[in-house]
Structure 1
C-alpha cells in the first residue's frame, strides 16, 4: 500500500481554551495532556501508523512551537508551510495538495488531520486509515464519519449512502448536514445512518486538485501560486507561502467549498473514541480526574467540590463548595464558568 503523507493543520485562534490558550499559543500546543500537547499526540499517532514525515501548515507565529514540539518527541524531516495570514481550511488544504503534487507527484496520497483532536483507539484509527488510503489511491476523496454516541448538536453530520462496490468499508455520501437542533440530532442517532463530520480527509493530490479546479478554482489557483512562490524560512524545512497570492484565496472551509459539492466523496465510518475537544467541558471529560470527578493541574486545592476542572499555571487556586465548574487561571486572564456553559466562551471574549 502507498505510504501516505500526513498533513497536520495547526490553525486556530486560541479562544475556545482561553485563558490557557491564546492567539499566540492556541490549544493544540498546550502540554496539559499527560505532559504532551494535542499537536504532539497527533504527530505521534500518524508516525505510528507508518506515515511519511509530516507536512505541517501553521501560522508564522507558531513556527517555533511546531519545531520545538516535534523535536521533543523525536520526529524529524517535517516540512512546515507558513501561512502569511489565516484563510480558513480550503486554502490551507489546497496549498498542501499543491505542495505534495510538486514534491511527490499528483498520484501521491495525503491525509489531512486537525492538530487538536484526541483518539483513544489507535488500532481502529489505523484500520480505517488503511481503508481510506486504498479508496484515495483509486481516485476517491475520502472523509471520516465518527460513529455518534450521543445526539450532539455541536457537530455537522454525514449521512451514509450505499456501500462502495469496489472498496469494503467505504460508503457513498448521501448528504451532508449542518449542526442540528437537538430534536434532529436525536432522529439522526436513532436512524443509525448518520455520523459526525470529523474534519479528517484522505485523497490523492491530483484527484483533489482536479475537483478543486471545478468547485473552488479561485482558491486552488491562489494556493498553487502561493506554493510556486514559496520562499525558504529561517529554519531548514520551513517555507513561507507567497503572501500576495495566498491572500487572494477566498476564506472558506473545505466542507463548504468542495466536499459538500463533489460527487467523488466517500466516507469511512470510524469508531475510535474520538473527541475534537472544542471547549473546557470536553477537556474535563478526557483529562485524568480524582475520586470526586475533579481535574486539577498546578497549585490547586478543592474541598466539597465535584465534577470540576481547575487549572493554574502560577497563582495558587482554592475552590470550596461548588460543583460542575471550570476555573482556569493564567497570566493572560482568569475564567470562571459552569462547565455546561463553556461552549459559550466566545460570547465574553
Structure 2
C-alpha cells in the first residue's frame, strides 16, 4: 500500500474582505500577507518531504497563470492544475480532488488544503497529518484547531468518542456561534475550530459522495472525463460542470457520513479573512502599528498601513485605523469595521460593471 500523500491546494477564494489588496484578478492567496511568500506559495512549501508527491491545484480559469508562475517560482511545479469555469463550492472541489487522486495514485491519500490559510507551526501540522494517515485509509479526517479564544467567526467541530489516541469521531458540526456559546465551547474542551482541511483516501471520498451527494459526484465525473487537457492543465467541461449543485463538502458529506474523524491540533493556524487578522498577525513597531510600504506615521497607534507601490501614505494622530492603498483602490476605515470591507468590494464591483 502506498504511503504517499497528494497535496491538493484549493485556490478558489475571492477574499472580498481584503479589498482593495485582494481583487477578482488576484485574490488574497496570491499576495504576500503574513510572510515574504504569497499564501499559496507558503501552502505548497509546508507540504514537503519524502511522503508528499508534487501538488495539484484547483482554481478558476482566470488564475491559471498565477498558480503556475507562483508555484514554479518556488520549485513546486504542480503535477496537475484543475481549472473550474466558475465556482461550485467545496463539495465539487473534494470530488475533483478525489478523482485526480484516483488517477494519479489510487493507493495514496489526498490532503485537501485551502491556499489562503496561515500555519505558523508547519512541523506540528506535518506531525498531525502523519498521525491521521492510518485513520484516513478508512475515514475522512478533518483537522480541528484547538481554540485559542472564544471566536464567533468560525464554525466548530464537537468531538465524539475516541477512535485512537488523539483522534475522535465527529459528534456534530456547529455553525458560527454567538460569544456566549463560543465561550461555552472553549471552556468545555470538546469543540475545535473547523479549518476546512481534509485527509482521505480517494476511494472513501468517492464512496461517500456517491451515498450523500450523488448529483455532485455524477456531474463532476462527467466534467472531469470531458475536460480538455494540455500538459498539466485540466480544463473542466463547462456545460457538464454547470450541472454541479453548489454545496459545501461539510453539508454534502461530513454532516451525514459515519466515516468521518477529527484530529485536534495546535498548528498556529489562522484564517486571514480580514484586515483585523492581518494586523494581529503582522510585525508591529513600538506603537503597535503594522506597516508595509512607504508610509509616515506621526502620533498614531494600533494602525494597519499597506501601501502597494503608490505615493507615500501619511497618517497623523490616528488610532485603530487601516489605510490600504493599491492600484485597485484606497480603503480607509476603523479596524473595528474590518468585517464590513466586503461592502466596499461589492460597491467597487458594481461600479466596474
**TM-score band (shorter)?**
over 0.9
Contact 1:49 1:126 in 2 (8 A): no
Shift of 1:168: 2.5
TM-score calculated relative to the size of structure 2: 0.94
Q: Number of aligned pairs?
A: 343
**What SS does structure 2 have at the residue aligned with 1:346?**
helix
Contact 1:293 1:306 in 2 (8 A): yes
Equivalent residue, structure 2, for 1:279: 274
Tell whether 2:288 aligns with 1:288: no
Shift of 1:49: 7.4
Tell whether 2:187 aligns with 1:190: yes
Mapped partners of 1:142, 1:93: distance in 2: 13
Mapped partners of 1:330, 1:7: distance in 2: 31
Shift of 1:77: 4.4
Equivalent residue, structure 1, for 2:159: 160
Deviation readout 1:76-112 (Å, 9 max, x if unpaired): 343100001111111111111112112322x331010
Contact 2:15 2:273 in 1 (8 A): no
Moved more, 199-208 or 31-40: 31-40
Shift of 1:60: 0.7
Query: Which of 171, 176, 196 is 2:168 aligned to?
Result: 171
Tell whether 2:326 aligns with 1:326: no
Equivalent residue, structure 2, for 1:102: 103
Tell whether 2:47 aligns with 1:46: yes
**What SS does structure 2 have at the residue aligned with 1:53?**
coil
Deviation readout 1:59-88 (Å, 9 max, x if unpaired): 011011111111111113431000011111
Equivalent residue, structure 2, for 1:126: 126
Question: Residues 237, 247 of structure 1: CA spacing in aligned structure 2 closer, same or farther, 3 A cutoff?
Answer: same
Contact 1:161 1:171 in 2 (8 A): yes
**1:168-317 aligned within 5 A:** 168-233=165-230, 236-313=231-308, 314-317=310-313
Equivalent residue, structure 1, for 2:114: 114
Equivalent residue, structure 1, for 2:142: 143
Mapped partners of 2:299, 2:51: distance in 1: 47
**What SS does structure 1 have at the residue aligned with 2:341?**
helix
Shift of 1:232: 1.6
Mapped partners of 1:92, 1:49: distance in 2: 25
Contact 1:172 1:267 in 2 (8 A): yes
Shift of 1:315: 2.3
**What SS does structure 1 have at the residue aligned with 2:337?**
helix
Shift of 1:327: 0.6
Contact 1:131 1:168 in 2 (8 A): no
Contact 2:3 2:51 in 1 (8 A): no
Equivalent residue, structure 1, for 2:73: 72
Mapped partners of 1:258, 1:158: distance in 2: 14
Shift of 1:181: 0.6
Mapped partners of 1:49, 1:110: distance in 2: 15
TM-score calculated relative to the size of structure 1: 0.95
Structure 2, unaligned stretches of length 5 or more? 347-353
Deviation readout 1:85-140 (Å, 9 max, x if unpaired): 111111111111112112322x3310100001111111211111012222112x11
Shift of 1:48: 4.4
Mapped partners of 1:63, 1:338: distance in 2: 35
Contact 1:12 1:23 in 2 (8 A): no
Contact 2:56 2:78 in 1 (8 A): no
